[in-house]
Amino acid sequence: MTNQAHPKGLYLLFVTEMWERFSYYGMRAIFVLFMVKALMMDKAAASGIYGTYTGLVYLSPLIGGYIADRYWGNRRSIVLGGILMAIGQFMMFFSGMLHETAIDMATILLYGGLTTLIIGNGMFKPNISSMVGQLYPAGDKRVDSAFTIFYMGINAGSLMAPLVCGTLGDTGNPADFKWGFMAAGFGMLLSLTVFTLFKDKYLLTPEGQPIGLPPKKHNESGHAITHEPLTRVEIQRLSVILIVSAFVIFFWSAFEQAGASLTFFADEQTNRGVLGFTIPASFFQSINPIAIVLFAPVFAWLWSKLGSRGLEPASPAKMALGLLFLSIGYLVIAFGVDGLQPGVKVSMMWLTSLYILHSFGELCLSPIGLSLVVKLSPARFTGMMMGIWFLSNAVSNKFAGMLSELYPEPGKPAPELFGYAINNLHDFFMLFVVMAGVASLILFLLSSHLKKMMHGLQ
């Protein structure tokens, strides 16, 4: 089976996810800048809202996955979620239109748009990920590479998003943020259109049966969703998902500084001038997806090469390596800002290096984790377990916003975390070095035991 081509349905899901991620990351690239520069919020308040929003974006899939598994099916949930997210993005557009003339109404539209985006994402996100695994028979070795391809779609969308939405919205004129939100809205409409037009033709099992239908229809076509009790092996495999999900919290809470504190750093203390042109701060969020697209084939080759020699690490060990790369990325930038005075700008190479190292970490952790959830979950629990996986992302993103509130500002009292005073940027970045480094070490130590609990599914 390893030499077979992937089903066409994978590429439909690839394109659908690509444009949805364009929509999400396009809005995220300018979100905190919009709140600070157009709605005149301070950085701490904007960071808090950012963390709450992104946290709830990843919490809502727990509910969406359950609804799809029990009642609606994946397809119906994805369509409804796409409609809601498009509405949410256009509410953000109208918030941008009104920020000068009616800031109270603009703020109401902001919260309304965020709420609609959260609900829509909950219906969309776990179900499109779950459908990737459903395209393949049980035990198919192509699933890992399928998720790598799918992950390329995520990053193709997030690569384009800051460039397009940042060019339109992050111009230095707060009145232009609305055009970035409009572009994000059209990206979501395109995702929805592609999925709706081609889902019936391509989203099929190897036997030609449709996937993603409501549970009743699954029963009629012979794919019963049952409520059998979990076996001992299934319980242990599900426990692995829960354990690694806890470690993922440490990864994403540091990684997701990209949309908050690292955007402030890019805006205020990074020399962004090149040949007389000032690169928008939001553009730096494209470095990560560019690195993902460039290096994903390298990592896929590396795992394959190690696997052919019996040396490929198990998924938990790969994820521990991801945390280590994250820690090293923050160590590099902490060195770059050591002794830096307020108002002094540093070379963009420091931030670029951080994002590249974080991308290596993401390649070791995120697609591996998505594949792990599908492989270890019984079919009747896949949607819900995918929701639990995203629950860890929810907690992470909320923590990311809380940690971003500790970003030091000149003239203000030094923030503290458990007695650790953050007097400058070096102190701030070292917080993430220690947090991710300790989590990496503990997960490495646990990885051999977790491998046993996976019972042969690597």
How many angstroms separate the CA atoms of 95 and 116, rounded? 14
Amino acid at 91: M
Tokens linked to 207: 């036997």
Spatial CB neighbours of 243, under 8 Å, sequence gap ≥ 6: 446, 450
Tokens linked to 40: 């005149």
Which stretches of 256-314 are DSSP H helices?
Answer: 261-269, 287-308
How many angstroms separate the CA atoms of 45 and 24, rounded? 21
How many angstroms separate the CA atoms of 123 and 390, rounded? 12
Spatial CB neighbours of 372, under 8 Å, sequence gap ≥ 6: 240, 241, 244, 315
* Per-residue model confidence as pLDDT tens digits over 130-144: 888 788 887 676 776
* Per-residue model confidence as pLDDT tens digits over 271-312: 988 888 888 888 888 899 899 888 888 887 887 788 788 888
How many angstroms separate the CA atoms of 424 and 435, rounded? 18
Please state, in angstroms and as integers, the Cα–Cα distance from residue 254 to each residue in 39, 191, 197, 250, following that order.
26, 29, 38, 7
Task: Judge contact between 116 and 153, C-beta under 8 A.
Answer: no
| pLDDT for residue 222 | 42
| pLDDT for residue 362 | 93
- DSSP helix/strand/coil, 279: coil
* Per-residue model confidence as pLDDT tens digits over 335-370: 999 888 777 889 999 999 999 999 999 999 988 888
| pLDDT for residue 268 | 87
How many angstroms separate the CA atoms of 396 and 107, rounded? 25
Amino acid at 218: H
pLDDT mean across residues, the chain: 87
Tokens linked to 93: 């557009």
- Domains of the chain and any CATH numbers: 8-205+231-453 (1.20.1250.20)
C-alpha 166: how far from chain center: 19
**Alpha carbon distance, N-terminus to C-terminus of the chain:** 17
pLDDT band at 72 (very low <50, low <70, confident <90, very high): confident
Q: Over pLDDT 90: what percentage of the chain?
A: 43
Looking up tokens 């590479």, which residue turns up? 145
Q: Is the pLDDT of residue 187 over 70?
A: yes
* Per-residue model confidence as pLDDT tens digits over 224-272: 464 678 888 888 999 999 999 999 999 999 998 987 889 888 988 899 8
| pLDDT for residue 333 | 94
Task: Judge contact between 13 and 181, C-beta under 8 A.
Answer: no
H or E element that contains 227? none
Nearest CA among 65, 402, 388 for reference residue 246: 388
* Per-residue model confidence as pLDDT tens digits over 420-455: 888 889 999 999 999 999 999 999 999 999 999 987
- DSSP helix/strand/coil, 270: strand
Task: Judge contact between 397 and 256, C-beta under 8 A.
Answer: yes
Q: Is the pLDDT of residue 118 over 70?
A: yes
| pLDDT for residue 225 | 65
Looking up tokens 């991620």, which residue turns up? 21
- DSSP helix/strand/coil, 315: helix
H or E element that contains 368? helix 348-376
Comparing 56 with 300, the larger pLDDT belongs to 56
Radius of gyration of the chain from Cα atoms? Answer: 22
Highest mean pLDDT among 42-51, 152-161, 352-361: 352-361
